Amino acid sequence: MTQGNEERPVQEDRHHWGMLALAWLLYFAFAITSASLFPLVTPVREELDLSYSQMGVILGAWQLVYIGAAIPVGTMIDRIGTKRSLLFGALIIALSGFSRSIAPNFPVMLAAVALFGLGGPIISIGLPKLVAEWFTGKKRGLASGIYVTGTHAGNVVVLAATNSLLMPLTGSWRLTLQIYAAAVLIIALLWFLLGKESEDFKAQQKARRDGTDVEKSASIRDIIGVGAIWPVIIIGFSGFLASHGFRSWLPQIFEAKGMSASTAGFLAAVPAITGMIGSIVIVRIASEGYRKQMTIGLLLSVGLTIGLIGVLSGPWLVATVMIQGFCAAALMPLMMNTLMEMPEVGARYLGAAAGLYFSIGEIGGFAGPTLVGFLADWTGSFLAGIFALSAIMWLMVIPAFSLKDHGRPTAPG
């Protein structure tokens, strides 16, 4: 595999920020679908007669499918580009959202959520590739932090509005899910009308057609052989495990503290709000060449705050939730930006590298909600699961010491 930093110049024009806005909307669509069940766990469990363990399996089902889909999806995106890939992904997640709203029992709901595992990786792998193709240098770090806020905004909308606005308005969790699915379809239409491929990708496609492209496509074997990516992937695994395991159950964790469903939903949205700030600020600072130090600090902070949330109440709980969201949100864009800046990866091979990252990461994404649900059934409390997630984050400091900084970005922009 040739060096990914031998990239063609990225076209710098007014379309960059428009494409970033579309990327933000697509990640928003991803989030309102992936998080749509979180504040609805109680009515869904009651109507479908589900145990906590069954609900945990449902919440983690799409991550399980994602594990197998991510690597071939990443390779596909490298080959056919982001325009067609992201449209296909948005349509699949819209179908997943609608299917949930008509599920009559556990197997159908499980299948509806699992379907998201086919569309989700197209979005989450395609978007960093889009950013890597359209942005260079310092702007790439800034764009990496900005587009990720789309998923935080989606989480805020779902957690804050579901039980306080949509459920009282519709009187039905099924109609609520259909509203979210309709929003995803509208975003898919906007992408179809306004999205475009980068000039860099068009040049690669032309070179392939003309037989003048001397660089071969990256195979998964090539990517696995890049030793520097493994600390990134291991940390990504822990981040997915803690993020999905903690965030999936956060409204119920707060309800167990005696909060009403609407109050729990509002408070569960706080980490997503502070995460919007954290993902931009921290990734921007780290892009100056402080990725290792920033990653270690984030892992320690996230581990500590997750554990404290399990035992605190009142104003201290709110403050800790804010800090946890600020720190946790930056881990994924920080790891993706680290991959983008690796000379062996770059924009050209980011699809394959991100596919491996998300495939292994979503093993944690599946295990997290399932582990917390199992421990809640076993112990009668969420504390055991919370403390387990906290300990895992602290253990990830060990591989973080192996991260390599690639210095300050020298590319223009």
Query: Given pLDDT bands bounded at 50, 70 and 90, which one contains residue 208?
Result: low
pLDDT at 157 > cutoff 50: yes
Highest mean pLDDT among 79-93, 148-162, 178-192, 316-330: 178-192
Could you tell me if residue 413 is inside a domain?
Answer: no
| pLDDT for 212 | 52
Whether residue 198 contacts residue 10, with contact meaning beta carbons closer than 8 Å, is answered with yes
Domain that holds residue 168: 15-200+209-400
291-347 pLDDT, tens digit per residue, is 788 889 999 999 999 999 988 888 899 999 999 988 888 888 888 878 877 777 766
Residue 13 phi, psi (nearest 5): -150, -175
Average pLDDT score over the chain = 83
pLDDT at 39 > cutoff 50: yes
219-278 pLDDT, tens digit per residue, is 566 777 777 788 888 998 888 888 878 887 888 889 888 888 778 878 887 887 888 888
Query: Given pLDDT bands bounded at 50, 70 and 90, which one contains residue 155?
Result: confident
| pLDDT for 90 | 97
pLDDT at 400 > cutoff 80: yes
| pLDDT for 211 | 56
Could you tell me if residue 305 is inside a domain?
Answer: yes
pTM, two decimals, is 0.75
Could you tell me if residue 3 is inside a domain?
Answer: no
Query: Given pLDDT bands bounded at 50, 70 and 90, which one contains residue 59?
Result: confident
In terms of pLDDT, which residue wins out, 37 or 273? Answer: 37
97-117 pLDDT, tens digit per residue, is 999 999 999 999 999 999 999
Could you tell me if residue 2 is inside a domain?
Answer: no
CA distance 142 to 135: 9
What percent of the chain clears pLDDT 70, i.e. is strictly above it? 86
Whether residue 390 contacts residue 376, with contact meaning beta carbons closer than 8 Å, is answered with no
335-381 pLDDT, tens digit per residue, is 887 887 777 776 667 777 878 888 888 788 778 888 888 888 898 88
Could you tell me if residue 216 is inside a domain?
Answer: yes
181-194 pLDDT, tens digit per residue, is 999 999 999 999 99
CATH number at residue 108: 1.20.1250.20
Buried b (16+ CB within 10 A) or exposed e, 15-49: ebeebbebbbbbbbbbbbbbbbbbbbbbbbbeebe
Could you tell me if residue 9 is inside a domain?
Answer: no
Q: How many domains does the chain have?
A: 1
| pLDDT for 25 | 97
Could you tell me if residue 350 is inside a domain?
Answer: yes
Query: Given pLDDT bands bounded at 50, 70 and 90, which one contains residue 85?
Result: very high
Could you tell me if residue 329 is inside a domain?
Answer: yes
Query: Given pLDDT bands bounded at 50, 70 and 90, which one contains residue 215?
Result: low
